Copies of this chain bind each other. A is one copy, B any other.
């Protein structure tokens, strides 16, 4: 089926004037982009842009979608008591059913706020995969791998193999060694061997907190990034590293030289008081820095527009330089770099030949007026509620604020039940 998105703004880019455009979608791909009013395709379903801004859908490069079930349950607490007293006791009681509904709630939130692809790491990956399949979203899924499991480890590798390329290619997978403080060098070795054997990428938490660095240094005599490099974790692998907050210059070089992709999670790093990641320095070194929300339990939102603003603002105050991380660069992080981090070719740009993963942002709102600069408006003034239309892989998931693929009332009511059961189970 063809879809014609007519009369939409696009961000200024090389060869594009500041004017409105028509975008023709054919099947899963963007087929053509031309000045508004010039594409004629009588057979196409027409979506009126009405002066909305067309953007590539956002790529949330690091989240744990099922944790939406715990949103707001234990904020403003010290990290370890939050985990020990709140998160882990409930996670221990979670069923595949819970993970399914929690993931679906997050998929719904993402569709509504313009995220079209996400990288997820959690347990009961089958359940999240099922939710992704139904939602129409694109996702790179990894089952969290830790020490002390043998049969489980094999099953998780198997899950990655089974789901790779499923749902018309919308689901891809990575292996998910949780971190170097929950995975011994031996376990990381096994994961790397499986990655090599089955040609899989790896998604891992790296250098999130200062105490992690101390712990790794005490155990292995090296800081996290250097420890992982020593193990051969980076060389020859596609690695999606989440957080990368505590880095020195030598470690930034290691990441750059090995092509490690970084998921920066500014709001989670602020809320959990982890620290300020050296994003401008990483970008300067040529690292593909993408953007993630982390879970709605440590954020507590999956709104990538809010995350983009936080990224820009945190970089500026962190360096005391108002020119650090300008708006257009942040948009690149949330789209192109996200696609690179998830290893998704032909995703992350609005160009013919790219996958039709795109959104329309409704610019006809008081808080988005007047319109001096499209990129500034997106990053500094818009929020997730301004997304009116979301397409993934050429399918319309939301049109004019109406989600077409999921039953919102049903999801909200099932989530309520899951939470009740979690507490009384």
Contacts and interface: CB of A to CB of B under 8 A. Distances in A.
A372 B70 contact: yes
Interface residues of A, number: 72
A415 B322 contact: no
A273 B322 contact: yes
B376 A69 contact: no
Given A269-B317, A372-B71, A372-B72, A367 B303 contact: yes
Contacts of A367: 109, 112-113, 296, 301-303, 384
Contact of A380 (B271, B273, B411): B271
A416 B51 CA distance: 14
Contacts of A324: 273
A79 B303 CA distance: 29
Pick the most buried of A267, A322, A377: most chain B CB atoms within 10 A of its CB. A322
A105 B369 contact: yes
A275 interface: yes
B369 A71 contact: yes
Given A108-B366, A366-B412, A326 B75 contact: yes
A80 to B, nearest CB: 10
A15 interface: no
A385 interface: yes
A383 interface: yes
A172 interface: no
A337 interface: no
B77 A323 contact: yes
A210 to B, nearest CB: 8
B372 A319 contact: no
A422 B384 CA distance: 31
Given A306-B309, A366-B408, 4 more contacts: A108-B366, A273-B322, A274-B317, A383-B385
| 5 closest cross-chain pairs (CB), A and B | A385-B385, A72-B376, A76-B326, A270-B313, A270-B317
